[in-house]
A and B are shown apart, each in its own frame.
Chain A
Amino acid sequence: MGSLAIARLAIIENLRRKEFYVVLVLVLGLAVWMAMLNMGSSGTGRFAKDVVMQVTWLASFALAIPLAVRQMASDLEHKTVYVLASRPISRWHYIAGRTLGAAFASVACFACMFLVLVLMMMFKGVTSVADPGLWQAFVLQITALFMVCSIAMLFSVVGTPGAAVTFSLLILAIMRYGGPSILALIAKMPPLARILSWVVYLTMPHLEFFNISQRVVHGWGPLPLSILGQVIVYGLGYSFVVTAVAAVIFRRRWL
């Protein structure tokens, strides 16, 4: 109950800040522009879908990472952590609550932007609300947001806010967009470097699993349910483990 109350605190705080509304308005503006886009006889359906989808996905990450990092940084800087830490909750509950709050707030922001995306695509006639692939992409992105928030929280526990945001963005960029290429690069390394690299590669968050935007844009159909289930379990499990590691580190921290 303590964690959920702290999560609720984080949600209210973050939804009352202005950043989300600014980003939402920008995504809305982009969606309106794309919906009106007319390049003569050229088809713009996939193009509009792709651009708005990528911007929405990126914007949701761009909101989630600073949001998650800010939870801890703000609490420690302003000593508001004392009010919570003096209650009968463990450090694990505190970290879990803050991470959940950041994740839920990010998901709420993403859901609003996703709604804009769906409306734009329906206006363009390039998708149907009943498209299962679209909703799978939505669910997977939510899971990815949970992972990203837990990673950002871990970095904020061990480092400064700036470093936490930087490293979180770096990992996001490398794994989400370069994940498949890294395996091939590792295969070319000498044996010892290859083994070490595989170990690091396995511990990194495989955010590329959660990016099925190309499937949705190009109409490849939904993922098999077994794959969807495996990926979601992986995402939530990874988030749990990372949050637990953050809690263990935070346990030893002097407030």
Chain B
Amino acid sequence: MDRWLPKIVIAGAIAILIFSSILVPRLRSANPQDRDVLIQVLGGTADFAAEEAFHEAEVYFHAGFDTECPDEQTDHHVHREVKASESVQLPFLKAIEHLQGEAAPRIHKHLVGEEEKELLPWFIAAVRLNPHYIDAWRVGSYWFYRTDNGHRGIEFITDGIKRNSGDYRLYLDRGILHHRIKEWGPAIEDLETARRLWKNDSEDSPYELRAIGTYLRDCRAHQRVGS
């Protein structure tokens, strides 16, 4: 028995690992407000991991190229190749930089077509680790819409709304997705909810209020003409 006990324990651990990937989503859907038990145990680390997962999605979009350049002079939103730091003049340091560049991709490119689906697991991971990570729900829903279909994106962000029912931004984005797939009625509903819940709590808030208004007018116009 002593010889077999460790093996039984290890086999049990593997079985739990495999079946948890099947069982946990089902359990979670029954209590959408709750985080996984494991995530609760991780605490603040889970939030950090969620941010890293979200960042990884961006890295994946750029095919492994980390756009957060160490040189703060380079705006990472601008598509620019990383150039060697101008202050590094010594040959052996240039050699080190060269070898570092060979090991990790440094040429800027994007995933295209079916490859874009590779981003999605990171959004799923981000929101699972932190269900209150609003940006992950928003950006993830866009990519689900873009790579699969609008309904998949809506399904994704609806999950986010269940966990963050007071956040106007999620209703706004769901409304926009409905608008894109020409579902005017649901779009208007979501946009009106967004306007009702809107708070002037960030730099983007006034622009988002304007966006709510713009989309609402557009949806109503389409609804009136029946297109």
Bitwise, A177-198 to B at CB < 8 A (1) or not (0) is 0011101110110000000001
Query: Which residues of B are found within 8 Å of A223, using beta-carbon distances?
Result: 102-103
The answer for the CA separation of A211 and B46 in the assembled complex, in Å, is 25
Least CB distance from A97 to B in Å reads: 31
Which residues 205-243 in A have Cβ within 8 Å of B in the complex? 206, 208-212, 214-215, 217-220, 223-224, 227, 230-231
Contact B63 A42 (CB under 8 A): no
- Contact present for A47 and B118 (CB under 8 Å): yes
A43 touches B88 (CB 8 A): no
* Chain B residues whose C-beta falls within 8 Å of the C-beta of A16 in the assembled complex: none
Known A29-B18, A47-B118, A198-B93; contact A209-B100, beta-carbon cutoff 8 A: yes
A166 within 8 A of B: no
B27 CB within 8 Å of chain A: no
Segment among A33-41, A68-76, A102-110 that sits at the interface with chain B = A33-41
**Among A36, A179, A211, contact of B21 (Cβ-Cβ < 8 Å):** A36
Contact A220 B120 (CB under 8 A): no
CB within 8 Å: A-B pair count: 118
Contact A206 B96 (CB under 8 A): yes
Question: B62 CB to closest chain A CB, in angstroms?
Answer: 9
Chain B contacts for A206, CB-based, 8 A: 96, 99-100
Q: Which of B63, B64, B87, B103 contacts A208 (CB 8 A)?
A: B103
Could you tell me if A187 and B122 are in contact, using CB atoms closer than 8 angstroms?
A: no
Contact A215 B105 (CB under 8 A): yes
- The answer to whether B18 and A214 touch across the interface, beta carbons within 8 angstroms, is no
Q: How many chain-A residues does the 8 Å CB contact rule pick out? A: 47
Is A171 an interface residue, CB under 8 A from the partner? no
B152 lies within 8 A of A180 (CB): no
**Which chain A residues border B104 with CB–CB below 8 Å?**
180, 208, 211-212, 214-215
Which residues of A are found within 8 Å of B70, using beta-carbon distances?
A: 180-181, 183-185
Complex Cα gap A215–B144 (Å): 25
On whether the beta carbons of A33 and B99 are closer than 8 Å, the reply is no
Q: A10: CB under 8 A from chain B?
A: no
Do the beta carbons of B105 and A218 come within 8 Å of each other?
yes
Mark each residue of chain B from 46 to 81: 1 if its CB lies under 8 Å from any CB of chain A, else 0.
000000000000001001100000110000000000
Residues of A within 8 A of B92 (CB): 202
Residue of A nearest to B106 (CB): A180
Q: Is A124 an interface residue (CB 8 A)?
A: no
C-alpha gap A48/B121 in the complex (Å): 9
In the complex, besides A25-B13, A179-B100, 7 extra interface pairs with C-beta distance below 8 angstroms are: A42-B117, A183-B88, A185-B70, A202-B96, A211-B103, A218-B64, A231-B99
Sample (13) of A-B pairs whose CB atoms are under 8 Å apart: A25-B10, A28-B14, A29-B17, A40-B148, A42-B120, A43-B115, A43-B120, A179-B100, A183-B93, A206-B100, A210-B103, A215-B64, A227-B102
Nearest 7 A/B pairs, CB to CB = A42-B120, A43-B117, A184-B70, A218-B64, A47-B121, A187-B87, A214-B64
